[in-house]
Amino acid sequence: MEIKSYQKKGQTFYKFTFYIGMVDGKRKYIKRANFKTKKKLEPPLCYCKKKSKNQKVK
C-alpha cells in the first residue's frame, strides 16, 4: 500500500496504490486518485483491503 500526494493546478491531491497479488501470472494493483484530503481517501482504501481479503488470488 502506497499513499502519495501530488500537485494538480496548484492544489494538493492524494492517490494510493494497493497490491492485491498475482493474477494470471501478473501483479495486480488497485489504483485510485484525486482525493482532496487523506481522510477522504480512507473509505475506498478500506474497501480495497476488504475486497482483497475476500478475493482468492493465486
Q: How far is CA 26 from CA 1, 7, 9, 20, in A?
A: 17, 30, 34, 11
Domain count, the chain: 1
Q: How far apart are CA 49 and CA 32, in angstroms?
A: 13
Per the DSSP assignment, residues forming a β-bridge with 13 are 6
Report if pTM > 0.85: no
> Shortest CA distance to 48 belongs to which of 25, 16, 24?
16
Range of the domain at 22: 2-54
pLDDT in tens, 2-57: 899 999 999 999 999 988 888 889 998 889 999 999 899 888 888 888 877 776 55
